Structure 1
Amino acid sequence: MSTTLEFGTPVPGILSLRNIASVVERFSTVRSLKLPLAIFGTGLLSYIICNIIYNVYFHPYARYPGPYLAKFTDLYAGYHAWKGDIHLDMWRCHQVYGDKVRYAPNRLNINTVMGLKNIYKDGKPYLKSKNYAAMVHQATNTLTVRDRKDHGRRRRVIQQGLSDSTLRAFEPYMYEIINRFCDRMIQTVEEEHQARECGQSHNALENQKWNTSRNMSEWCNYLAFDLMATFIFSGKYNMLEREQYRYVVQCIEQSNIRVSSILQAPILKAFRIDKILFPRAIVARNMFLGFVGKLLRDTKKNDRSQRKDLFEMLSHAKDPESGNGFTPEEIVAESVTLVVAGADTSATAMAAIFFYLSRNPDAYARAAAEVRSTFDSVEDIQGGAKLNSCRYLRACIDEAMRMSPSVGQTLAREVPVGGAVVDGDFIPGGCDVGVPIYAIHHKEDIYSDPFNYNPERWMVEKEGASQQVSDMYAAYNPFSVGPRSCMGKGVALVEMMATFAVVLFRMDFKMADTDTAGGKPGSVYGRHRASEYQLRDHITSAKEGPMLRFRPRIVKPAVA
C-alpha cells in the first residue's frame, strides 16, 4: 500500500499541509490584531490613570474637600441624580466638609450668600456648564442654550409674552381652572345645606363633611399642567376631569430621571449608554414627544383670532435690539419648555404648600383668616392690590419653597476665560461653580431653625432689617437669581397666590390618616424628618402626596 502523500490530499487523522497553512494564517491575523488592541488598551488605561492622578492631585480643585469618588469621576453625582437625593447629598456634604465642596472633578459647590452673588448676580460673563449640552434633544432652548447673546435675545422675546397685559388676559381662564380644581376636591362631599336641613350641629358637620383622601401630588400636577397648557397654547386638555392625557405627567417624571443623570454625568451619553440604563425613560420621552406633536397640531387647527396666548404672542414678538423674532422651530422649543418646566415646578411648589399648611395648624388658621377677611366672595378674588395685600399667605408660599424648592441641586456655571474671584477664592476659567439651592435654604447661620416651617420669618420688613434677615432674603432663590433666573416666576407666583386664596376661601382641608409624604424616622439622614416634605430631585422634583381630605368651607352661624 502506497503511503505517499500528495500536497492537499486529506488523510484521516492527519493535518494536511493546506490545513496547517490555514491555521498559521489565522493565528497570524489574530497576532496582528492583538498588537493594536494591546496598544489601544494600554493607552486607554494610561489615560484613565493619568486623568485620575491629575484630578486628585493637580486639578485647580484638588485643594478642596469633598467625597473621594467625586474627585475623579462625574459618576458620583450621576448616581445621586438617578437616586433622586442629589439635593440632600449636597446638603450632607456641606455639613461634613464646610462651605466649599468639590462635588465633581470640575465642579465646586459654594454654600454662601457671597458665592450666590458672585456667580449668578454680579453680571460677569459666566456660561452655563457644558454639561447642559447633554440635555439638548433636537434644538436648544432658553434652559439649555449656553451662548450669552443668544440667551439674551431669546429672553427679550419671551418676556414680551409674559407681560402684565398677557397675564390679565389669562386671569379669567386661570380662575375658571382653579375653581374647577376646587370642585374636584369636594366632589364626593354632600352639599352643606342638605346637612343643615337635617338640623345637624356645627360639630356634627365638622365630623361628617370630610371627603375621601386626595393625593395632592397628582392633583397639583393636573392643575398646574391645565394652567400652563391654557396660558401657552389655549389647550383644553382638562387633566383635572379627564384621564386621557394624564400619562403625560408620568412621562415627564420618568424622562427626567435620565436627563438629570446625564446632566450630572455626561459620559453616560457616550456610545448611548443611557439607552441601555434608562429604557423606560426613552420610551417615556418618545410618548411625550408624540403628545407634543398632537399639541402643536391642535394649536394650528384652533381659531387663533379669539385668544392671545403665549404661543400667539411669540409668533409675532420681535427682539427690540435686533428686530428679529423666533423661527418656527424656536417658538415650538421655547413653548414646550415653558409648559414642562412651568407646570412641573409649580405643581411641586403647590403640593409643598398643601403639605406644610396641613401640618401646621397655626399657620393654616392665620392664612385662612387673612384670605376670608380680605375677600367677600370667591368672585371677589382677582389679581391686584387686594390679593397682594395677603402678606401672610405669600409668606406661607415663600416658606414652603424655601424648605422644599422645586429645584434643589446646583445650577452649575462655567467660570469665564481669565478666571474670577468667587467668595474670596480665585477660580480659573473653564471650571464649574455653583450654589446648591436646597443646601443654602437650610443653612443654619442664615435661617434659624431651618427645618422648622415658620412663615413668620418672612413678615419682617426689609428696611432696617438685621444682617441675618438681609442674608435670608439674599440667599432665597427657588427660581434662581440673575440673568438666567426663571422667566416664568411672575406667572408662577400669580398662579399660587390665586390658587390658595380660592382654596382657603372655598374649602377646609386636613391631613389624611394615610399620609406618608413626610420623612420617616430611622430613614437615611435627610429623609428622617416627618415634618419635611420629601422630594426626589431629578432636575425638577418628583413627589408623592400629601394625602389630604377636603370639605366645603363651613361658616359658623352668626350669634343672635
Structure 2
Amino acid sequence: MDSRQVLPLIITYTVACIISLLFLTASRLIFHPLRNYPGPLLARLTDAYPGYFAIRKCLHLKTYYNFQKYGPVLRQAPNRLIFNTITALHDIYLNPKVTKGDSYRSSQLRAKYPSIINAIDRDQHRRKRKFIGQALTERSMRSFEPVMSSQIDIFLKILLRSSRKGNPIPVNVSKQCQYLGVDVIGMLAFGHQFKTQTEDSFRFIPQVIDAMSWRINTYMHFPLLSYLENVLAILGKRQVIRFGDAVTSMIKARMAQDKDAHHDLYSIVADYIGKGQQGLYRGELWPEAILFIMAGGTTTATTMSAMFFYLSRNPAVYSTLATEIRSTFKSADEIHSGSQLNSCKYLRACIDETLRMSPPSLAILWRQQEARDHGNDPFIVDGHIIPPGTQVGVSLYSLFHNEEYFPNSFTFMPERWLDSPVGGEDAVSGHETVSTTIRKAFVPFLIGDRACAGKPMAYLEASLTLARVLWFFDFEVAPGQVESSGAGKPGRTDGRGRPDEFQLDDIFVAAHDGPTLIFNRRDDFWRTLERD
C-alpha cells in the first residue's frame, strides 16, 4: 500500500473518531437522562474525571468542594450521581431493592470469587454475611478480647522502650498502629501471628494493602483502567507474590490445626467450607482472608492514628479524657470490656468525633437499583427519580463535614456527642444535647444490610488501646513536628490547608502518615509493663 492509499484511510479514521466523539458528547450533555444535574463539565463527559482525582488520592476533597459549588446533588460521572443529605443516605442504603453498583465489578482484581465487600448479588452477600459476620459480633469480641489485649500489650511495651527518660525517641504512630492492626486481624482471621510489631518479615503487608486499595479505588471510578491490572500488578509483582504467599501459608497452617485451636474466623466457618450455596465454596476463603486483613486491620489503625493526632493538638480534650480514664480505673488490669469501660462516655465521644472528622474509609459506596426490580416502583433518592442503570452514592467525608448537620465541622469537638457536659459547666461552653439529626447523619460503618460488620471490633480495639496508653503514658507532638506529621499545610488551596485536620489519602480505605509523638512514662504506673 503506497502513501496515496494510506492518506485517505487516515483521514477517514480521523473523521470517524471526531464524529464518534461529537456524538458521545452530545448524548451525555444533551440527551442523557442525567443531563439536568449539575457538575463539572468533564465529569458529565467521562469517568476519567473522578478517575484522575482517585489516582491522586484526593477524590474525597474534590467531592467536598464540588458540593460547596454545585449543591447537595451532583453528577460526578456520566452515569453517577452523588448526594450530600441525610434523606439521600437513608433512601439509598436502606432501600431493599438496591444493590451494590456495577463499579464493584472492577474491585475484584483477579480473584475468582468476590469477597463479602464486593459481592453485588444480594443473596450472595447475605449468604456470606451469615457465616463471616459471626466472627465480628460483640459476643465473638468478648471471646477474642484476651488475644487482642495481648497484642495491645506489645504495642504498649514498644512505646515504653521509646519513652527513655530525658531522651524519648519519636514514634510515628501511623506505622505502629498499622502493625498493631495487622497483628490483631491476623489472629482474628486465622489465629496467625504476623508479628509485624516486633519483627520485619511481614512489615511489607501495610504497603501492599495500600497499593491494592489504591488500584481498587481507581478502577471503581475509572473502570477502563482495570484493563491495565495485569500491567500494574507486574510493577509490584514481588510484593504481590510475597503477600499471596503469606495469605496462603496462613490459611494452610490454620487448616492443619484443630478447628477449635483458636477463636477466629476459621473456627466459625470451618464446618461450612465446601458446602457451596449451603455454606462457603472452598475458593471463597482466600478473598475473605484478604478482606479481613485489608479492611479489619487498616481501618482501625486509621481511627487510632487520627485520635492520637487530635488529642495531641487539643490540650483541653486530652486533659478531660486523661482525667476520665485515670479516675475510672484503679489499675491497668481493670481496663477491659464491661461496665467500667462503657462508663467512659468521653472516650466514646472522642472516638466518634475522630470517626466523623477522619472517616477510616473515604470511598463512595456506589449503589444502584437491582435489574430485577426495574419494572416495579421507581427508585427515588431525596425526591429525585433515578433512571435505571444510574449509580448513586454518598460521600461520608462530605456528609460528616456538612455544616447543616455538624456546625464547626472542621473543629474537633467530642462534646457534640455528649448528652451532658463532662467536667462541670466550665468544661464545656455552650454545650447542647446530641440531636437526632446528627445521630442520623453519623454512619461511619454505614447502615443497612451492607453495613460494616466490624463495628464491635473497631470500638473495642480503639477503646482498649487509647485507655491503656493514657493509663501508662502522657504524650505530645515531637519537637519540630507541630506543623507536619499528618497535619494540613496552611496556605494550600487543595483541601489540605487545615493544620488541625489529620490528612488522609483516599484509596478506598484511608492512607495516612503520622502523627510523630513522644511518649513520657506516667509516674511509676509504667513499671507494670516492665514486669510483664
Question: Do structure 1's residue 187 and structure 2's residue 156 form an aligned pair?
Answer: no
C-alpha RMSD of matched pairs (Å): 2.6
DSSP-derived class of the 1:296 partner: helix
Question: Percent identity over the alignment?
Answer: 33
DSSP-derived class of the 1:212 partner: coil
User: Which amino acid is the alignment partner of residue 288 of structure 2?
Assistant: E
Q: CA deviation at 1:552?
A: 1.9
- After superposition, residues 145-164 of structure 1 pair within 5 angstroms as 145-164=119-138
- After superposition, residues 416-435 of structure 1 pair within 5 angstroms as 416=370, 417-418=374-375, 419-435=378-394
Question: Do structure 1's residue 56 and structure 2's residue 29 form an aligned pair?
Answer: yes
Deviations 1:325-344 (A, max 9, x none): 11221122212211211111
Question: Do structure 1's residue 499 and structure 2's residue 465 form an aligned pair?
Answer: yes
Conservation of the 8 A alpha-carbon contact between 1:315 and 1:331: no
User: Which amino acid is the alignment partner of residue 315 of structure 1?
Assistant: A
- After superposition, residues 208-247 of structure 1 pair within 5 angstroms as 208-209=165-166, 211-247=168-204
Q: CA deviation at 1:127?
A: 1.6
Shift in CA distance, 40/131, structure 1 to aligned 2, threshold 3 Å: farther
Deviations 1:408-448 (A, max 9, x none): 23211113425411101111121011111100100111101
Deviations 1:219-260 (A, max 9, x none): 110011111101111111111111111011111112322221
Following the alignment from structure 2 to structure 1, what is the Cα–Cα distance between the partners of residues 237 and 439?
Answer: 40
User: Which amino acid is the alignment partner of residue 537 of structure 1?
Assistant: D
User: Which amino acid is the alignment partner of residue 524 of structure 1?
Assistant: T
- Structure of larger gyration radius: 1
Unaligned runs of 5+ in 2: 421-430, 526-532
Shift in CA distance, 91/278, structure 1 to aligned 2, threshold 3 Å: farther
Q: CA deviation at 1:467?
A: 11
Question: Do structure 1's residue 296 and structure 2's residue 296 form an aligned pair?
Answer: no
For residue 398 of structure 1, the aligned residue among 352, 371, 382 is 352
Q: Which range is displaced more, 110-119 or 249-258?
A: 249-258
DSSP-derived class of the 2:161 partner: coil
Following the alignment from structure 1 to structure 2, what is the Cα–Cα distance between the partners of residues 94 and 133?
Answer: 27
Shift in CA distance, 430/281, structure 1 to aligned 2, threshold 3 Å: farther
Residue number in structure 2 paired with 1:85: 58
Residue number in structure 2 paired with 1:22: none
Question: Do structure 1's residue 445 and structure 2's residue 400 form an aligned pair?
Answer: no
Conservation of the 8 A alpha-carbon contact between 1:255 and 1:284: no
Aligned residues: 505
Shift in CA distance, 145/40, structure 1 to aligned 2, threshold 3 Å: farther
User: Which amino acid is the alignment partner of residue 480 of structure 1?
Assistant: L
Following the alignment from structure 1 to structure 2, what is the Cα–Cα distance between the partners of residues 470 and 209?
Answer: 48
Structure-2-length-normalised TM-score: 0.89
Q: CA deviation at 1:59?
A: 1.4
User: Which amino acid is the alignment partner of residue 267 of structure 2?
Assistant: E
Q: CA deviation at 1:317?
A: 4.8
DSSP-derived class of the 1:140 partner: coil
For residue 269 of structure 1, the aligned residue among 226, 229, 241 is 226
Residue number in structure 1 paired with 2:425: none
DSSP-derived class of the 2:491 partner: coil
Deviations 1:89-137 (A, max 9, x none): 100000111101111111111100000010012x331121111111112
For residue 321 of structure 2, the aligned residue among 367, 378, 401 is 367
DSSP-derived class of the 1:433 partner: strand
Residue number in structure 1 paired with 2:301: 347
Following the alignment from structure 1 to structure 2, what is the Cα–Cα distance between the partners of residues 278 and 301?
Answer: 30
Residue number in structure 2 paired with 1:313: 268
Structure-1-length-normalised TM-score: 0.85
Conservation of the 8 A alpha-carbon contact between 1:508 and 1:552: yes
Residue number in structure 1 paired with 2:150: 176
Residue number in structure 1 paired with 2:99: 127
Following the alignment from structure 1 to structure 2, what is the Cα–Cα distance between the partners of residues 407 and 255?
Answer: 14
For residue 260 of structure 1, the aligned residue among 217, 235, 254 is 217
Residue number in structure 2 paired with 1:332: 286
DSSP-derived class of the 2:120 partner: coil
Shift in CA distance, 275/39, structure 1 to aligned 2, threshold 3 Å: farther
- After superposition, residues 474-493 of structure 1 pair within 5 angstroms as 474-493=440-459
Following the alignment from structure 2 to structure 1, what is the Cα–Cα distance between the partners of residues 384 and 258?
Answer: 57
Conservation of the 8 A alpha-carbon contact between 1:535 and 1:541: yes
Unaligned runs of 5+ in 1: 1-25, 191-207
